[in-house]
Structure 1
Amino acid sequence: MSARVEGALGALYPFLDSRATDAELVLADVTRSTAEKAAEIVILRESLVPEHGRRLVECAHRLAQAFQAGGRLFTFGNGGSSTDAQDLAQLFLHPPKAARPLPAFSLTHDVAVLTALSNDVGFDAVFARQLAAFGRAGDVAVGLSTSGGSTNVLRAFDEAARRGMVSVGLAGYDGGKMAESEAVDYLFVVPSASVHRVQEAQTTIYHVLWELTQQALAGEL
């Protein structure tokens, strides 16, 4: 390995650097970096309260109405947002004790369906086609995208609108194309250019939305 490549790796990952290093300096750098990132997410999450607080309450009431009328929740997203979509569906379907379980499904968990649609129709249609098959008026569609520009998420929102579903979008940056879409009923934008911070804050948003929905269903909101 060349000294230049080794130096670059060492700068990113000190523990991979074969050159002599000061362990205390490395630990100090890790501690500083961790503290900075923790402070960033705390500030970002606090900023979401005045920005989205009222809309989250409104959205929770709308979701509660949907569930009371027999509606179901469908979640979707790509990459890390796919994992968050599965977490969100699990939270509604199998909540902590004493909370009301609600019908929720992730459109990202079935590999056979995703690969079939991607291969035969196109990746842009993997979520829209599933909503076309399962969605009905009064159901809820929740799409997550750090950029707000994922084509398959946007097409799913269009399909949801055609079917009379309630749509909820979570995006980062400035909201991207999701902010321009008339198919999204409730949009929650995390104003950050860091994918990590966006996804961390989106997790907070949908957990709060779940809690508020539970409160609305119990008549406590």
Structure 2
Amino acid sequence: MRDLYPFLYSGDPGSGAGGGLGDVLDDVRRSTVDKANEIVALRRLVLERDGARMASCAERMAEVFRAGGRLFTFGNGGSSTDAQDVAALFLNPGRDARPLPALALTTDVAVVTALSNDVGFEVAFARQLAAFGRPGDIAFGLSTSGNSVNLIRAFEEAMRRGMLTVGMAGYTGGQMAGLEGLDHLFVVPSPSVHRIQEAQTTVFHVLWELIQEAL
């Protein structure tokens, strides 16, 4: 262990001045507490600001599912993983909840890479919505910046097809905040990608719970 991480064992661990293991662990503890407090405060802020809009969005999504509509999710990078989490949550919620039709547009590597290679990455989700989307379905896109071109194109395609559109972004919303016709947008006001994604996870779990109650 000392060979792998010699900096942890430098100086006197308990001296507070030598930068030893004790000081490093103290810094880690303080950082962990600070981050936990930060995300709790951010989640509270989002709930206070957007709670009523979450309820409205959930009711509208529940109406879509009652009518036989489907949920399509998408995002890039870490948001791609979150999009898959959303789809899995709706489709496989456990024994005591109602499964709902949901598909993540990020999971088929052959389709995503074919569209990206042959046409352009900006259409990786829009082309899939053009093929699968129907009026009354849901397009659910997640981004930390709100500036992902392929999400903007996907939302534009979804709106052309009469789909319900739900977006999540961070910072101040980016281009998604200026996208005319977007039905619902939830912006997490933070400059930290990590805190944004953590709060977005809370938002879509709240939406799911409200939808289950509505159904």
State the TM bucket, normalised to the shorter chain: over 0.9
Show the counterpart of 1:26.
24
After TM superposition, list the pairs within 5 Å mapping 1:52-63 onto structure 2: 52-63=50-61
One-letter code of the match for 1:17? F
Aligned residues: 204
Q: Which amino acid aligns with 1:71?
A: G
2:8 and 2:24 in contact (8 A); partners too: no
Q: Kindly report the root-mean-square deviation, in angstroms, between the aligned alpha carbons of the 2 structures.
A: 1.3
Q: For residues 185 and 89 of structure 2, what CA distance do their matches in structure 1 show?
A: 20
Structure-2 separation of matches of 1:157 and 1:108: 15
Task: Tell me how far 1:193 sits from its aligned partner.
Answer: 0.4
Deviations 1:83-140 (A, max 9, x none): 0000000000000221000000000001000100000000000000000000000000
- Residue identity matched to 2:163: M
Select the residue among 179, 194, 197 that pairs with 2:195: 197
**Seq. identity, %:** 65
Specify the SS of the correspondent of 1:167. Answer: strand
The answer to whether the 8 Å contact 1:81/1:144 transfers is yes
| Correspondence for 1:90 | 88
Match of 2:210 in 1: 212
Taking the aligned partners of 1:201 and 1:51, their CA distance within structure 2 comes to 13
The 4+ residue runs of structure 1 with deviation greater than 3 A are 14-19
Question: Alignment partner for residue 133 of structure 2, among 111, 126, 135?
Answer: 135
From 46, 49, 57, the equivalent of 1:48 is 46
**TM-score, length-scaled by structure 1:** 0.90
1:10 match: none
The aligned runs of 1:137-216 (5 Å cut-off) are 137-216=135-214
The runs of 5 or more residues in structure 1 that have no matched partner are: 1-13
Cα distance in 2 for residues equivalent to 1:73 and 1:211: 15
Secondary structure of 1:17's counterpart equals helix
Instruction: Report how far residue 17 of structure 1 moved.
Output: 3.3
* Structure 1 residue aligned with 2:17: none
Q: Report the Cα offset of residue 50 of structure 1.
A: 1.6
For 1:183 and 1:78, locate their aligned partners in 2 and report how far apart those are by CA, in whole Å. Answer: 22
Match of 1:72 in 2: 70
Provide the C-alpha distance between the structure 2 equivalents of 1:68 and 1:76, rounded to a whole number of angstroms: 22
User: Does the CA contact (< 8 Å) of 1:157 and 1:183 recur in 2?
Assistant: no
